Chains A and B, each alone.
Chain A
């Protein structure tokens, strides 16, 4: 192979190799240590090569079966790979890395990466398929890890169960439950790995004796209108809210010995928590959480958690063992104790990040494609309708709030009105404001009756709950707003931190238009705003 000049193709071919040099593999680290002239060993290059080849076995001795030091035939024995040398958790770490790689490749979070994946026909679908496979393999190995963690905390699988479990015998032929073997990934057909039970001696005995009794059952439901924020992947300021409704059914069990007139205390000794289905009435078929007594303990503090919803891959198989310093003595504590509620209720819907990969997260959904278009228009050529049309009203009762009145005067317009009337006033609107504490929350804009809508007002004021108006050649009139006002033309109100305006355009008493507005002030009354009445 010959390269004349360094072109991108060459770079693309060689760069992975170059970058591979950024961390040390064992072989390189070893030769450096072995041949270090200032180190302990000071081996020659040839000695280092031999020593480091030999040292591979000592670096991870668990992977090998090595000569028996006591054997008389020690010299004839050779090192062999130990079929049970690799831990299942080591293979799981690789599969987790694979699943994370796939998750990253399939995410739309990085636009360029997503584009690259979609550059190859069928590649995204292929990766999704590989991801399903990786998760299935991961589930198998995670099962083994969780099962081991579980039995460490609650005690060995009862001997009777162990002996009678064909699954246990097949998948752990040497009773070594921590080793990796190809069998753990094998869909045997007759035996299923998940057929190895998660159970405890005390429960088995109680079931056998018929003394395990359900003593508590309760449903817990939460509803949040703004439960889940859906954030645009491309624009940090673009988002929407989705309502979230969740529910759980909690069944608490207790071992009750017969003929003793009831237990001395009401602590439960086994608990099952089920997610409720979308109707918040029916529960899923398998518990999302099961709680057990620890080895030698008398209060529940070991929990098996399954993060997968019914129908999802991995459903029914625990994903995690959690042991807490707190104990769960009664079912209501699941709600009252924040730590338990978060781990055992909330997280069954929102799994914690870490080992679990949430393929349903928003970043995995393909963003809507941005439309590509051209739009050339002169300024002023475009008309828009900002008003929402329908039948609207203020969405809260406000009549009982403290009120304030104000007269909005129409400015004199010399081009339309006779000069002699310049000293006279004309009512534009009467405004009635409603305040909650000191904040204005509603403003009504009243159109004056015909008698009070001319430029013939000498003096006028609004104070307390009344309005005073003196027309030229008339007596001073004093009354409430309904006396001077004909009808409400517009209402501004504040709701959910935003201001809205309702408009009765045809003066029929119905507000048929609505739009969001800036906070109203005297300068933005309906008659003076650009989009006005």
Chain B
């Protein structure tokens, strides 16, 4: 990951009152911003200067560091997540879209700010932070209720015991106003740093590593046999008013503004990740929601959360309607996440197909490795440090090869896919699998090495390598006609209702008639526990839809493309 940005903020001593107070950057729609200049006059100078110090990091990262050491990073992440039960339920900010842009409704105390990044202005909404004349507040959990941000400061107790006895009640309230303000400064600077870091990473991968869009234009020019292709990209298309050659040929754009959404929503979601609105075209609005816990994970372990969401947000790379025909999560993962750590590689659900192919072609069995590092244990979670570090190196080796395979500007996976998406989505449809470019290009580039018996020796007594054992076995099966036979028999079942669908509800609602190819093959790489969970999810989704939850109903409709269980369940309107 390209980490040029310094994430940590030094302590800023605000000596000049004139610099205090909110500018237009952070504001409440009501205009009830905290008047820090007035507060400074009401407090003793020493007290004000002390409590107005902006913390090095936001309160929820107190005690956590950005770790490069994989083992320390692992331990720290486990510690952080063990506290995440404090986090609030989901929430979205209230906006008044009858006004231009994302304006909070008149009288709202929610916090919105504008951020200038790479020459583009984006808006950030903090759904669970509020400001009013009494100070700055946040709502993190029902248990705690709304809290004054000052009280979340690690220094709060020290400040209270030191200064409160010598201040009036009114002055003490001023202290809380200032400390809350300082806490929020740390929070929003941290958020913006994470956003910057994500953008830098995705730009580095797409522009520098993959050399998009130049690499695609070159490849397309070869396919088209037109040396003048690049110069024609901005020409209008005859018979298709309003379109240029670039748009008709689906040449993706990877400028900062192509990745940045119109709005970031920052929430203390329990879900440690992010969301990007799935329906988007280059002309439509784009919104990314990022959870604070996800950003914390990005900070602590270089988790590429923001960059991943920015790939989704780029409508040239993953816009509607093409997004129905390839696995956008896998594609975002392959684009920006390939720097992830061992735990990410071994467990993240989006990496399922990667693990499957890595095992097939390079022999590396992630499932066995995971069990060796994290053996099943009773009452405690068992972990083997030496195994972990050993596989950290192996995973790095795998990732390095994958990065070349995916990002090579000449014939890497992404360049091949985006040079002719219609070709590849048609291939996806034929195999009923949204990951076929990845699967087929791996097949054409690498020898398989999944069959290995260490007892098999050559004439010299050396163990026959897995790749040779596999090739020899495959050749004999091919010569016997078995591979061709297997392919034909398998095609008979391709696109047909799966056992999972039949198990789900005897195939009534979720069978083949409602699902269309291609589908995500990573589902079939989940273990039994994960599948059970998936089944629960589907059932719960249907229940929510039946209760009238529009989001759930629309999701079902989108997945089933208009002819699915909603009709089967006889929903009145959706």
Interface of A with B (CB < 8 Å)? Answer: 1-34, 40-41, 46-47, 49-60, 63, 78-81, 83, 86, 90-91, 93-95, 97-98, 101-102, 104-105, 110-113, 116-117, 120-123, 125-127, 129-130, 132-134, 136-137, 170, 173, 180-183, 185-189, 192, 313
**In the complex the two chains form, is B493's CB within 8 Å of A3's CB?**
no
Smallest beta-carbon distance B309→chain A, Å: 12
Nearest Cβ on chain B to A9's Cβ, whole angstroms: 5
Question: Bound complex: CA of A2 vs CA of B540, how far in Å?
Answer: 20
Cβ–Cβ contact B248 & A4, under 8 A: no
Q: A18-B523, A186-B249 are in contact. Are A129 and B275 (CB under 8 A)?
A: no
Contact between B426 and A15, CB atoms less than 8 A apart? no
* Interchain Cβ contacts under 8 Å between A and B, 6 examples: A6-B540, A25-B519, A29-B491, A55-B483, A120-B277, A185-B248
Is B490's CB within 8 Å of the partner chain A?
yes
Asked if B420 CB lies within 8 Å of chain A CBs, one says yes
Q: A23-B512, A46-B452, A59-B488 are in contact. List 15 more A-B contacts (CB 8 A).
A: A9-B271, A17-B523, A18-B523, A21-B498, A23-B501, A25-B517, A33-B489, A50-B451, A94-B426, A112-B573, A132-B242, A136-B237, A136-B248, A186-B226, A189-B232
The B233-254 residues at the A interface (CB cut-off 8 A) are: 235, 237-240, 242-243, 245, 247-249
Contact of B281 (CB < 8 Å), options: A20, A98, A126, A136: A126
Q: Which residue of B lies closest to A134 (CB)?
A: B321
A293 to chain B, nearest CB (A): 31
In the complex, which residues of chain B have a beta carbon less than 8 angstroms from the beta carbon of A7? 89-90, 270-271
CB contact list, B495-516 vs A, under 8 A: 495-501, 504, 510-512, 514-516
Query: Which residue from B223, B489, B494 sits with its C-beta under 8 Å from A183?
Result: B223
A27 with B283, Cβ < 8 A, contacts A8-B544, A8-B552, A12-B555 known: no
Residue from A55, A117, A125, A130 whose CB has the most chain B CB atoms within 10 Å: A55
Bound complex: CA A31 to CA B521 (Å): 12
What 1/0 flags go to B460-491 for Cβ under 8 Å of A? 00000000001001100110001111111111
Q: How many A-B residue pairs have CB under 8 A?
A: 381
Q: Hey, which bits of chain B sit against chain A, CB under 8 A?
A: 81, 84-85, 87, 89-90, 97, 220, 223-226, 232, 235, 237-240, 242-243, 245, 247-249, 269-273, 275, 277, 279-285, 293-294, 297, 319-322, 324-325, 329, 348-349, 356, 359-361, 419-420, 422-423, 425-427, 429-434, 439-440, 443-444, 448, 450-452, 470, 473-474, 477-478, 482-501, 504, 510-512, 514-524, 531, 533-538, 540-541, 544, 549-557, 559-562, 573-574
Residue of B nearest to A92 (CB): B426
Contact A63 B427, CB 8 Å, known A55-B486, A113-B574:
yes
Residues of B within 8 A of A125 (CB): 283-284
The smallest beta-carbon distance between A206 and chain B, in angstroms, is: 31
Q: Is the CB of A17 within 8 A of B320?
A: no
Minimum C-beta distance from A100 to chain B (A)? 8
In the complex, what residues of A have CB within 8 A of residue B534's CB?
14, 17-18, 21
Given contacts A3-B271, A26-B432, A129-B242, contact A98 B322 (CB under 8 A): yes
Chain B residues near A95 (CB-CB < 8 A): 422
Contact A120 B490 (CB under 8 A): no
Residues of A within 8 A of B551 (CB): 8, 12
Contacts of B549 in A (CB 8 A): 8
Q: Which residue of A lies closest to B90 (CB)?
A: A9
Q: What separation, in Å, do the CA atoms of A132 and B232 have in the docked complex?
A: 21
Q: How far is the CA of A10 from the CA of B512 in the complex (A)?
A: 25
A50 lies within 8 A of B487 (CB): no
Name, among A40, A104, A188, the residue most crowded by chain B CB atoms within 10 Å (CB to CB). Answer: A188
